[in-house]
Amino acid sequence: MGSGYLILAGLIMLFSWLVSARLKSKFEHYSKLHLQNGMSGAEIAQKMLADNGIYDVRVISTPGQLTDHYNPMDKTVNLSEAVYNQRNAAAAAVAAHECGHAVQHAVGYEWLTMRSKLVPFVNVASTYMQWVLLGGILLLESFPQLLLIGIILFATTTVFSIITLPVEYDASNRALAWLENKRMLTQQEHAGAKDALKWAARTYLVAAIGSIATLLYYLSIYLGGNRRD
């Protein structure tokens, strides 16, 4: 695929690793900042849902680390075991953030609705795009249309990653606003929660930038092949 792609892929992987490592260190640090209110992540989540008039969403514990997510299909806020049980600024930040998605769902936040509609297409694209792209590059001179199909599939996942950005940033903003308005945290705890969510959001930003850059690379291969024709 050429040295250009290898350099691009290497830079993307490096930035992704740096952000992920920083995020991990931030969460480890704020996991030691215990809440003065003594509430667990699960209790924070349940209160935020109730304060927003949401009573049909369950807060459940899910195995693993960084497995926290909101499932709009069965209306569950899934918190990793540490977040569910622990009583610190990091757990409060994650729990409130995931409830932010539940609030988005309840109010019909347009970016979340759009992302949900794309999920079936992204699942299909993710399954086949790498094979189609590889075949398209190998058969570029004889069957350039195959690479174009792969680019369209990849573009679907890129659009999804871009749409994810406002969804994630908005969920964090809703979480932080609620935590502040309800005076759930001390000033120091709130600053920690805000910092943790800031770095979590940056992982999505790096992923989106990487996806855009990779899409442009594949597009340049396709256009370059057409120019040779």
Residues of the chain with pLDDT > 90: what percent? 82
pLDDT of 58? 97
Element (H, E) at 116: helix 110-138
**Region label for 179, one of left (φ > 0), alpha (ψ between -120 and 50) or beta (otherwise):** alpha
- Residues that are catalytic: 98
By CB neighbour count within 10 A (0-12 exposed, 13-18 middle, 19+ buried), where does 70 fall?
buried
Q: Which amino acid is at 225?
A: G
Is 109 in a helix, a strand, or coil? coil
pLDDT of 227? 60
| Confidence band of 15 (pLDDT split at 50, 70, 90) | confident
Bridge partners, 69 (sequence order): 78
pLDDT of 229? 52
pLDDT at 24 over 80: yes
Six token digits for residue 184: 């759930």
pLDDT at 5 over 70: no
Q: How far is CA 135 from CA 69, 70, 200, in A?
A: 35, 36, 35
pLDDT at 1 over 60: no
Long-range contacts of 175-179 (CB under 8 A, 24+ apart): 175/48, 175/93, 175/96, 175/97, 175/99, 175/100, 176/96, 178/48, 178/51, 178/52, 178/96, 178/99, 178/100, 179/92, 179/96
pLDDT of 11? 83
| Confidence band of 9 (pLDDT split at 50, 70, 90) | confident
What residues contact residue 193 under an 8 Å CB cut-off, 6+ apart? 30, 89, 90, 92, 93, 96, 175, 176, 179, 185
pLDDT of 4? 67
pLDDT of 8? 75
pLDDT of 36? 96
CA distance 175 to 81: 20
pLDDT of 3? 66
CA distance 3 to 7: 6
pLDDT of 132? 96
What pLDDT, in 10s, does the model give residues 118-149?
999 999 999 999 999 999 999 998 999 999 99
What pLDDT, in 10s, does the model give residues 57-101?
999 999 988 899 999 999 999 999 999 999 999 999 999 999 999
pLDDT of 226? 64
| Confidence band of 16 (pLDDT split at 50, 70, 90) | confident
What pLDDT, in 10s, does the model give residues 193-217?
999 999 999 999 999 999 998 999 8
pLDDT of 184? 96
The model's pTM is: 0.89
Averaged pLDDT of the chain: 93
Bridge partners, 80 (sequence order): 62
